[in-house]
Amino acid sequence: MMNFIDRALERINEMSADDFLQSMADIYSEPIERNEIKRYPQFVQDVIFIVDYDTELQMEGLEGFFNDSTKDYVNETVVALKNCGATKEAEILEKCKKIDIENYDEYIELENETYLNNDFEGFWKLVKEYIGREKQLKDYNLGG
């Protein structure tokens, strides 16, 4: 049975980067095991980890990210951020990994440096450009 990722990849050539990004947000209405996404192209994995990061950051902040199940995928999230060119964001997460979970103020301090509080549009522009580059690199027409 096809899931939202399969459906999006099947139509990726007709979709804008923004449409593809929006379709990856379906992960919340159509949950998928994070380990299951490893069978998809790297950029798809990256986009899903970035969507998770964004959701957690907006709802719970950096401290929430490190207290929730998302913390299990912090390394994948760092890789995803680096792959799309959001190196500053990746560095923030790397710093967070060293914070003692009780040290709430340090999270708040670093949170002030995140794209959410600085360059929201610029961050998503990087993600969309990354999707656009990947889309052009390969022909994702998976039909046989």
- Dump pLDDT digits (tens) for 6-30: 999 999 999 999 999 999 998 888 8
Residue numbers of the domain that contains 79: 41-135
Flag whether 141 is in a domain. no
Flag whether 85 is in a domain. yes
Mean pLDDT of the chain: 90
Rounded Cα distance between 122 and 28, Å, is 24
Cα atoms found within 13 Å of the Cα of residue 55, Cβ hemisphere only = 16
pLDDT at residue 140 greater than cutoff 80: no
Flag whether 121 is in a domain. yes
Flag whether 105 is in a domain. yes
Report the domain count for the chain. 1
Identify each DSSP E strand in 1-144 by its residue range. none
Question: Which residue shows structure tokens 């990849």?
Answer: 9
